[in-house]
Amino acid sequence: MWHNLGQLLRYRGLIQSLVARDLKARYRGSMLGFFWSFVNPLLLLTIYSFVFTYLLQNRAEGLQPYAVFMFTALLPWTWFSSSLTEATGSLISGGNLIKKVLFPAEVLPFVTILSNMVHFLLGLPILIGFMVYYHVTPDWPQLPWFLVIVSVQLLFTAALSLFLSALAVHFRDVRDLVSNLLTFWFFATPIIYSYKDFPNYKNYFDWNPFTHLAISYQEILFFDGGFGHWKWLLALGGGSVVLFLAAYWVFDRLRDSFSEAV
């Protein structure tokens, strides 16, 4: 396991080329091409702004402008959920590569995660533009924590993706189960509402890993009251390291069965 884990850095060139291929293939044949990476979040945030300003006016105190509040956590959630959904089936869809003797199977889940991470990063300028328009000021002194939040999310997503992708090779129902669980997970996470509005459910929120990511993004980018959630974020980071090692151990144990099962 440790030997294979140490080889991951040697595959960075392969991962980079596969990520570039995935990004090109995603918009191949479309008129706007790669610009959809900017257009999609722009359209999404514009629609949310219209809906929650004119149709379903949300006047919750401290959450205005509501569309910007929601998007600060929705954007990273989209990266997380898309990565998990695609990574779960990545070994199955990449079966022709896995059957090649020297191809490292763990590369495929990482490719889907990093491809979606690129879209997340390209969506940030759209969010920043709306923040400037609505005069939403981030917590500047705490802004360096943003890189820590992204790193923790990357590690946590990678851990779940490795485990689920290996499991899905042998149990195809895992893909459908993940899609449904992500819907429940979304509404159980304070993305479209503030966790402060449900103080009686604090213990439940604390057991939800993505809660700590969502709140961290919100405190850094939207709320201007300091980054009080940093301890939870670091705890999640430490837990993600353990989870990643456990997931990679499972992945490595099942590696030899992938070429026969896909």
235: containing domain: 2-261
Q: Give the count of alpha carbons within 13 A of 154, CB side only.
A: 15
Query: Are residues 106 and 91 in contact, defined by beta-carbon separation less than 8 angstroms?
Result: no
What is the predicted pLDDT for the residue at 209?
Answer: 96
Q: Please give the Cα distance from 28 to 8 (Å, whole number).
A: 29
Rounded to whole angstroms, the Cα distance separating 211 from 213 reads 5
Q: Would you state the pLDDT for residue 262? A: 63
pLDDT at 88: 95
Q: Which residues are within 8 A (CB) of 153 and not within 5 positions of it... i.e. 6 or more apart? A: 76, 79, 80, 213
Distance between CA atoms of 232 and 197, rounded to whole angstroms? 19
Q: Residue holding tokens 């990545």? A: 90
Taking Cα atoms as reference points, which of 239, 245, 208 lies closest to residue 73? 208
Residue 248, C-beta contacts closer than 8 angstroms, at least 6 positions apart: 1, 4, 5, 106, 159, 162
pLDDT of residue 80: 97
- φ/ψ of 80, rounded to 5, equals -65, -50
User: Are 11 and 104 in contact, with CB atoms under 8 Å apart?
Assistant: yes
Q: Are 101 and 238 in contact (CB under 8 A)?
A: no
Number of folded domains that form the chain: 1
- Those residues of the chain that have pLDDT short of 70 are 1-4, 29-36, 53-60, 101, 261-262
